[in-house]
Amino acid sequence: MITEDHESFNEEMSFMVEEVRPSIAATTLKERLCLQRSAIKLEMKRSFDTSVYRLSDMEKHALVDIVQQNPTIWDEQQQSYKNLQARAAAWRHVADEMQVEFGKNFEAEPLQKAFKNLRDVYVRKRREYSDVLRRKSGAESGILEKIAGWPFYKQMSFLDAGTDQGERFCNVDFEDNEIIDVTEETQIVEVTETSSQSSTANNSIRPLTEITSAKKSGRKQNKGKDSLDKLGTVLKSLEPPDRFESFGQLLSSTLRELNSLDATKADAFALKVLHNLLARGLTREELTRRYPPDSPNEEEESSPRVRAPYADTPHVQRDRLANFFAHRDGYC
Question: What pLDDT does residue 81 have?
Answer: 87
Mean pLDDT of 134-142: 68
pLDDT(73) > 70: yes
Q: Are 75 and 162 in contact (CB under 8 A)?
A: yes
Percent of the chain scored above 90 by pLDDT? 19
- With a CB cutoff of 8 Å and minimum separation 6, the contacts of 59 are 98, 102
pLDDT in tens, 99-136: 999 998 999 999 999 999 999 999 999 998 888 888 76
Among residues 158, 165, 170, 156, the alpha carbon closest in space to that of 73 is found at 170
Question: What pLDDT does residue 273 have?
Answer: 75
pTM of the model: 0.38
Q: What is the dihedral of CA 136, 139, 142, 145, to 10 degrees?
A: 20
What DSSP letter does each residue of 262-301 carry, written as one string? Answer: -HHHHHHHHHHHHHHHHHHHS-HHHHHHHS--SS--HHHH
The neighbour count for residue 176, using CB atoms within 10 Å, is 6
- With a CB cutoff of 8 Å and minimum separation 6, the contacts of 303 are 327
